[in-house]
Structure 1
């Protein structure tokens, strides 16, 4: 069984440009790891208007920053994950989590559904 990815775009805040809310299986992965007052990745960084962004999975493993706590990533560290396409599967693994040992589990997404979700969010950004 595959995990289910859902991405939402949060509006610009007072301190930050628009960011993403990343849900896996209905759970907010970023808030779970960096706290409710932290933030997810900026839309422009992850889904740039000019082409594929950091979340697009390829055969090459790539570490992606998904969020930071309210105190800032420079202080406490960033939430990062390794994203890689393995045939028809997109894998998120190798989590690095700021100031906690409770990392999210490894996730496996159906590659076609994963790509469709990224295209959907890119279209509404």
Structure 2
């Protein structure tokens, strides 16, 4: 049986103007098969993908790496976080071993065609 291939798109959310004078960060959110999966499992804070772009953490290589996708504005030790392991396996990129320490539901593993995934990560870096 051939594994199901998902699609991924990243979209940017501009911050609302803060009432208290503090800067509210924008967010980069992953849409998997058109679903904002972080919205489904984590409502304690914001995505941390801006930081991932600087270190190229979203790039998929043969060596698996854990990426912090979302965390609270306070501390991950009190309100939890969402992490995923990203790796390349043959012609595919896998997002596996989700960790949601915020008491929210977990997510299943996802498999993306490497060409589509790499193109989307490159588009995000350009934008």
Normalising by the residue count of structure 2, what TM-score does the alignment of the two structures yield?
Answer: 0.83
Q: 4+ runs of 1 displaced by more than 6 Å?
A: none
Unaligned runs of 5+ in 1: none
Larger Rg: 2
Unaligned runs of 5+ in 2: none
Q: How many residues align?
A: 119
The answer (yes or no) to whether the contact 1:19–1:40 under 8 Å persists in 2 is yes
Q: 1:23 to 1:95 in 2, by over 3 A?
A: same
Backbone CA RMSD of aligned residues:
1.9
In structure 2, C-alpha distance between the alignment counterparts of 1:38 and 1:31, rounded to whole Å? 10
Matched, 1:25 2:33: yes
Larger strand proportion of the pair: 2
Normalising by the residue count of structure 1, what TM-score does the alignment of the two structures yield?
Answer: 0.84
The CA deviation at 1:69 is 4.0
Say which SS state the counterpart of residue 45 (structure 2) adopts.
coil
